[in-house]
Amino acid sequence: MKKLIILILPILILISCQITEDVYFKKDGSGIYNFKMDMGGAIKMLKGMAANDSIKKETAPEKMDTVILFADILKQNKDSIAQMSKEEREFLESLKDAKIHMNVDETKDKVFLNYEIPFKNIEDLNNINEKLKKLNSYNSRGAKDMDQSIDEFQVLYRFDKHGFSRKVKLPRKSGIQQTKEDNKFLSIVDYEIIFHFPYKIDKVSYKDALIGSDGKSLYIKVPLDSLFKNPQMLDFEVKFR
């Protein structure tokens, strides 16, 4: 089973049960961005693929709970990074406080992956897709299909004491349209975005958004196939009190 997980985990982003963007804001515009993949539903499918009983008996159920610091990855790759351009080195250095959390427990059908990326300001957050892609590329067990998906559009944010907005900028031609036609698993995946603000929420333009009991948290969940068909369906604005 361990061999199966290593081989198949890179494509689990398209067959997982839950994908979540969880973002925390401070008043100065800085914060923490989390990209989470809860793939517990997919591990059952992997077990079914292990049809050979000998494989099941020869390998013990995998159990792992680890946090990888990107600062350590930078140290390990310092020689190759030194050969990069100044712009590339500075980009990698901007990720030095990022973390990758992996939690796998086959006995409990648990596979969880989280990329945690601090950002200094809203402009920094606007570049989060590129940072997420780079962080994923340095994770040997990352979701390789994620690179293609996040290349398809850019998410632009606005944040100040008065309000917040999220807007997707689409390229002229998007390969995502072909992906959503070809992959039947998209309909069983939920995509959720969560924003935690330092201010009380007054109004939200997205009609199905839920506001947390603290009055400062915003929750929106959509089927991944619907989002792939229309990435701009999660464009919305928030007004603070």
How many alpha carbons lie under 13 Å from residue 21 in its C-beta half-sphere? 18
Give bridge partners of residue 67 from the DSSP assignment: 101
Phi/psi for 52 (5° steps) reads: -80, 110
Query: What confidence score (pLDDT) does residue 13 get?
Result: 47
Give the C-alpha distances (Å, rounded to integers) separating 87 from 14, 81, 126, 206. 32, 11, 18, 38
Query: What confidence score (pLDDT) does residue 72 get?
Result: 95
Whether residue 14 contacts residue 186, with contact meaning beta carbons closer than 8 Å, is answered with yes
How many alpha carbons lie under 13 Å from residue 65 in its C-beta half-sphere? 3
Strands (E), the chain: 18-25, 31-38, 63-69, 99-105, 110-119, 154-159, 163-169, 190-196, 201-204, 210-211, 217-223, 236-240
- Whose structure tokens read 């963007």? 21
Alpha carbon 69 to its chain's center: 17
Query: What confidence score (pLDDT) does residue 45 get?
Result: 60
pLDDT along the chain (241 residues), means of 10: 38 63 97 90 60 54 88 93 94 94 84 93 92 82 50 84 94 52 64 97 97 98 88 96 95
The predicted model scores a pTM of 0.82
Query: What confidence score (pLDDT) does residue 49 get?
Result: 56
Query: What confidence score (pLDDT) does residue 196 get?
Result: 98
Report d(CA 117, CA 160) in Å as an integer: 20
